[in-house]
Amino acid sequence: MRQFKESFRGYNRDDVNGFIDDVINKMETVISEVDKKDEEIERLYDKIKDYESRELNLNRALMMAENTSEQIRRMARDEADVVIEEARANANRIVNEALMRAEKTELEAALLRKNVSLFKKRLRNIIETQLELVDEIERVDF
C-alpha cells in the first residue's frame, strides 16, 4: 500500500493525483488487456465452433461412407447370388440337355441294334430261301 505525504489540508494533492494517474494508467492497461483477452477468447470460441462444425460434418461423411460401403457390400452379395443362381440354372440346363442327348443317342442305338437284328433275320431268311432253292435245283435231275 502506498503512503502519501501529508500537507496542509490533508494529503499532498500532487502525490494523490500521481497515484490516481498511475491507477488510471494501470486500469487502462488492464482493461486493454482484458479487451484483448476477450477478443482472443471470442476468436478461440469461434475456432472451437468451426472445429465442432467440421467434426460434425466429418462424422456425417463417415456415417454416409459407412452406409454407402454397406450398400455396396449388400449389392455385391445380391449380384453374386444372382450370378450363382444363373450359373446353377445354366449348369442344370446343360446337364438336362446332355441327358436328353444321351437318351436320344441311346434310343437311336437301340433302334440301330433292332434294325441290325432285323436285317440279320431277313438276310438269314433270304440266304435260307436261296439255299432251299439250290437244294431243290440239285434234286431236279437234268
Rounded Cα–Cα distance for residues 93 and 89 (Å): 6
Q: What is the pLDDT along the chain (142 residues), one digit of tens a residue?
A: 666 566 666 766 777 788 888 899 999 999 999 999 999 999 999 999 999 999 999 999 999 999 999 999 999 999 999 999 999 999 999 999 999 999 999 999 999 999 999 999 999 999 999 999 998 888 886 6
CB 44 within 8 A of CB 54: no
Enter the pTM of the model: 0.48
Residue with cell 444372382: 82
Q: How many beta carbons lie within 10 A of that of residue 59, not counting itself?
A: 10
pLDDT of residue 13: 74
DSSP the chain: -----EETTEE-HHHHHHHHHHHHHHHHHHHHHHHHHHHHHHHHHHHHHHHHHHHHHHHHHHHHHHHHHHHHHHHHHHHHHHHHHHHHHHHHHHHHHHHHHHHHHHHHHHHHHHHHHHHHHHHHHHHHHHHHHHHHHHHS--
Rounded Cα–Cα distance for residues 52 and 60 (Å): 12
